Amino acid sequence: MAILTCGSRELDVSKTQVMGILNVTPDSFSDGGNLFSNRSLSVDKALLHAERMIAEGAGLIDIGGESTRPGAEPVSVQQEMDRVLPVLERISAELDVVTSIDTSSPELMLEAARLGAGMLNDVRALGREGALEAAVKTGLPVCLMHMQGSPATMQRAPSYKDVVAEVIDFLSQQLDRCELAGIARSQIVVDPGFGFGKTLEHNLLLLKQLDRLAELGVPILSGTSRKTMIGQVLDKPADQRLAGGLATVVLAVERGARIIRVHDVASTVDVVRMTEAVLS
């Protein structure tokens, strides 16, 4: 049985877990906007949204306060902490669930761990100054994602000779770097970074060959929910990409993904359970 030790809780990744997205940013695909214009309202709404996702079968909740969509502008560390920490504190106090913090900021990593976070999910693979050291101090599992460039620039003509090999090579190097710093390999998850510095062709090839990431020997996280790659194939806006997204979930689970990061939890849980029933 593969277990991630997430602070005071454990996460069984010998089976596929659904990670519910809780974005406390103004431009989320599914929440945010004017719901988060008032701090007390935002925390209450976020708590209700987390409760709903848990009831629908989410095994962990991923809380993020910095938009990393293509072209996104960076936010200050203080602004990110002001968005995330009150929500994390309420969820930790009131709900029995593993919380993941979607951040690259070492300051937030440390404070989130103090408030009960169970995992660190970093799109920059602990690349910011001090992030690796902070992650080691928390003792929490980490998810390392591949991204070419930065959120502000990543979709400006991304280029690879062999996207799958290059993603695997990057993640392998980051795994070694983390192990050398003191993070056990058994506490690391990898994410190929669909949509982060990749064209449609790159994304489809990564999904098709996702099982090649298994050679890294750690759990794989797949996050395709409502992403542009689905819109490009189906010519549909973000709020009409559920069916396409569920198709990518089936393919990811079949190819060994153990964490599926999504906005639409209930439908995804059904798809994961059905897919695993067939594969078992």
Active-site position among 83, 226, 241, 261: 261
Residue 193 and residue 222: Cα distance in Å, rounded? 8
DSSP-derived secondary structure letter, 71 = T
Q: Which residues pair with 145 in a beta bridge?
A: 191
| 221, 225, 229, 235 alpha-carbon torsion, rounded to 10° | 160
Residue 104 and residue 77: Cα distance in Å, rounded? 10
Contact 28, 46 (CB under 8 A): no
Residue 168's nearest CA partner among 212, 199, 202 is 212
Residue 184 and residue 181: Cα distance in Å, rounded? 9
60-72 burial string, b = 16+ CB within 10 Å, else e? Answer: bbbbbbbbbbbee
Active-site position among 83, 227, 241, 258: 227
User: Three-state SS for 262?
Assistant: strand
Contact 185, 144 (CB under 8 A): no
57 C-beta neighbours (distance < 10 Å), count: 16
DSSP-derived secondary structure letter, 214 = G
Give yes or no: 227 in active site: yes
Find tokens 């913090």 and name the residue.
101
| 230, 233, 236, 238 alpha-carbon torsion, rounded to 10° | 20
Find tokens 């009150």 and name the residue.
86
Active-site positions read: 227, 261
